Structure 1
Amino acid sequence: MDPHLLRTFVAVLDHRSFSGAAAALGYTQSAVSQHIAALEADLGSRLVERRPVAPTPAGARLLEHAPALLLRLDAARADIARLHQTRPTRLTVACSPAALGATVAGALAELRAVTHSLDVEVRVTGRDAVLADVVAGRADLGFVDGAAAPSDPLPMPDLGPMTTLAAAEETLAVLFPRDHPLAERRAVRLSDLTQAQWIDASDTAVPLDRLRAVCRAEGFRPRIRHRGTDLHGLAALTAAGHGLAALPLPVAAALPGIAAVPVSAPRLVHRTELVHPANPTAPARQLVDLLTTRRLAADAGRR
C-alpha cells in the first residue's frame, strides 16, 4: 500500500472534499482523484463515496488503521533523522494545556539557566497532537496529562520506540460555577456527578470517556463542546453554567469565576507524563534528567 495514496485518502475524508484535500496537500484535484482510484484498485474495493464525499464501509474500516500506519511511518523517518543530528541548539516542547504547569515551566527555566544559548519553543496543543508531534519528530519531547490512580501510568496508544516518564502528580478537581450547590464543598465524589451536565473539552480538561472509565459508570453527558486549548475560555463556560469540567487543582484554582473542588473518590490524581523518543536530542535528554532528579527528590521528601 503506497503511503502517499493513504495520506491522500485520509485528507479527502478529513476535509470531506476532493478539492479541499488537493489544497491542503498541494496537489491538483485531478491528482487527488487519481490517488483515490489507484488506492481503490490496489485494495480491490470502493473506499470513498463521491457525492457527498464519505467513506464506504470498506473506507471506514481502512480509516481505523490509516492514522496509526502513517504515524509509525513518520516515526521511522524521524528516528533515522535524529541519528544524523549534530549538537542542536533548539528545543521544541509540545504540551497539552493542563500539562504546562509549575513543574514543566520550572524545569524549562532551570534548563535555560544552565544552557544560555538554547532556543526553546513551547507549543500548546491537544493531547493527540502532542503525541503525533513527538512521534513524527516535530517536537523533541512532549507533556500530556490525564486522570489516573496514584502511581499508575496514563493509557497511551502504541507509540513505537518511545519512552514515558512521570513528571508530576497533582490533586484532581472539578470546576463548578461559584453559585453551584456543591461549590462550597471541601471535596466531591465523581460517582455523585455522573448525571450532571459536563463540558466536552477533550483537548483541555480530562476527557469525559476517561471519567466514565475510571468511575466504571455511564453518564458524564456533555451539554456543550469546547474545542481548542483555551483554559480561560473553558472556565468562562463553566462559570456561565454550561457544565462541569475536571482539571488539576493548581490550574483550576488560578482560573477566574469558578470554584475548584478536589475529588475525594475514586482515588485519582491528575498525572502529567513526559514522552520522548528512544534517542532524544541532547537538550531533550538534559530536560529529562532534570525532571527525573526533581521527581526523585519529591518522592524522597514524601517518605
Structure 2
Amino acid sequence: MDPHLLRTFVAVAREGSFSAAAQELGYTQSAVSQQIAALEADLGVPLLTRRPVAPTEAGTRLLEHAGPLLLRLAAVRTELTRLAAAPSARLAIGLTPLAATDRLAAALARLRADLPQLLVTLETLPTARALAGLATGELDLVLLDGIAAPTDPLHLPEADQTPGSVLMVAEEPLLLALPDGHPLAGRRESGLPELVDARWIDAPEAAVPLAALRAAAHTDGFRPHLRYQGTDPHALTALIAAGHGLAILPRRAVDPRLTGVPIGRPRLLHRTELRLPHPGTPAGRRLVELLSD
C-alpha cells in the first residue's frame, strides 16, 4: 500500500471533499481523484462514496488503521534520519501538563552544566500530540503522566505506536483537592466509590481526567459539574477554592490554599514516565542517564 495514497485518502475522508483535500495537500482535484481510484484498485474495494463524500464500511476500517500506520512510517523515517545525522545541539522535550517534576528540573540543570551550548526547549502538549511529535522528530523525548496501580506502567494505547525506551521518573500519591471548609476536608483518606456523585471539575489537561476515574472505579459516574479545558494549575485552583467542584491531583500539584485528602481505595498513584525513541540523540540519552542516577 502506497503511503502517499493512504495520506490522500485520510485527507479526503477527514475533509469530506475531494477539492478541500486537494487544496490541503497541494494537488489538483483530478490528481486526488486518481490517487483514490488507484488505492481502491490496489485494495479491491470501494473506500469512499462520491455523493456525498464519505467512507464506506471498508473505508471506515481503513481509517482505523491509517493513523497508526502513518505514525509508524514517520517513526521509521525519523529513526533512520537520526542515525545519519550529526549530533544535535538542541534538545526538544514534550511533556504533558502534570509531568514536570523536580527530578527533571535537577537533571536538566546537570545536563546544561555538561553541555553549556545545548539549547533546551520544553513544550506542554496533550499526550497524543506529544507522541506524534516524538514519532516525527519534532521532539527528542517526551514525559507523560497518568494514574496507575503501584509499580504498574502507564496504560496509554497511543504510546504503543512509538517504539523506544521507557523510564519511570516519578510516582506520588493522589489527593482529592478540596476548598477549605468542605465536608470531606477532615477525613484521613477517601475512596473513589464514595465520590462518584460529588461535584466534579472535568479538567483533563490540568487534573486526573474524569474518564480515568470512571475506569479505575468501574462506574459510569464522576459526571462533570464544570469543564475546564486549559492547563493552568492556578486557574484550576481558583475554581476549586471558589467551590465550583473537586478534582484529583498529584500531591505536589495541590495548592496550599486547598485541602488535600489522600485517595485510599483503590490504591492508585500518579506516575510520570519518560519515553525516548531509538537510538535517540546524545543529549537525550545523557538526560536519561542523569534521571536514572
Query: Is this a same-fold pair by TM over 0.5?
Result: yes
SS for the counterpart of 1:171 is: strand
Paired residue for 2:130? 130
Shift of the alpha carbon at 1:280? 1.4
Tell me, in whole angstroms, the C-alpha distance in 2 between the residues paired with 1:63 and 1:105: 40
Paired residue for 1:6? 6
For residues 34 and 187 of structure 1, do their structure 2 counterparts lie closer, same or farther at Cα, with a shift above 3 Å needed? farther
Unaligned 5+ runs, structure 2? none
Tell me, in whole angstroms, the C-alpha distance in 2 between the residues paired with 1:65 and 1:6: 10
Unaligned 5+ runs, structure 1? 294-303
Alignment check: 8 A CA contact 1:126 1:228 kept? no
Paired residue for 1:253? 255
Tell me, in whole angstroms, the C-alpha distance in 1 between the residues paired with 2:23 and 2:186: 52
Shift of the alpha carbon at 1:210? 2.5
**Same amino acid, percent of matched pairs:** 53
SS for the counterpart of 1:97 is: coil
Paired residue for 1:189? 191
Matched, 1:212 2:244: no
Tell me, in whole angstroms, the C-alpha distance in 1 between the residues paired with 2:140 and 2:10: 26
- TM-score normalized by structure 2? 0.85
Tell me, in whole angstroms, the C-alpha distance in 1 between the residues paired with 2:115 and 2:278: 22
Tell me, in whole angstroms, the C-alpha distance in 2 between the residues paired with 1:279 and 1:72: 15
Structure 2 residue identity aligned to 1:80: L
Alignment check: 8 A CA contact 2:101 2:170 kept? no
Alignment check: 8 A CA contact 2:93 2:139 kept? yes
- Greater C-alpha Rg: 2
Alignment of 1:19-168 (within 5 A): 20-49=20-49, 54-157=54-157, 158-168=160-170
Structure 2 residue identity aligned to 1:69: L
Tell me, in whole angstroms, the C-alpha distance in 1 between the residues paired with 2:249 and 2:34: 46
Shift of the alpha carbon at 1:41? 3.5
For residues 27 and 178 of structure 1, do their structure 2 counterparts lie closer, same or farther at Cα, with a shift above 3 Å needed? farther
Alignment check: 8 A CA contact 1:126 1:229 kept? no
Alignment check: 8 A CA contact 1:164 1:273 kept? yes
Paired residue for 1:244? 246
Alignment check: 8 A CA contact 1:125 1:229 kept? no
Shift of the alpha carbon at 1:227? 3.8
RMSD: 2.8
Tell me, in whole angstroms, the C-alpha distance in 1 between the residues paired with 2:108 and 2:174: 24
Structure 2 residue identity aligned to 1:205: A
Tell me, in whole angstroms, the C-alpha distance in 2 between the residues paired with 1:235 and 1:51: 50
For residues 239 and 7 of structure 1, do their structure 2 counterparts lie closer, same or farther at Cα, with a shift above 3 Å needed? farther
- TM-score normalized by structure 1? 0.83
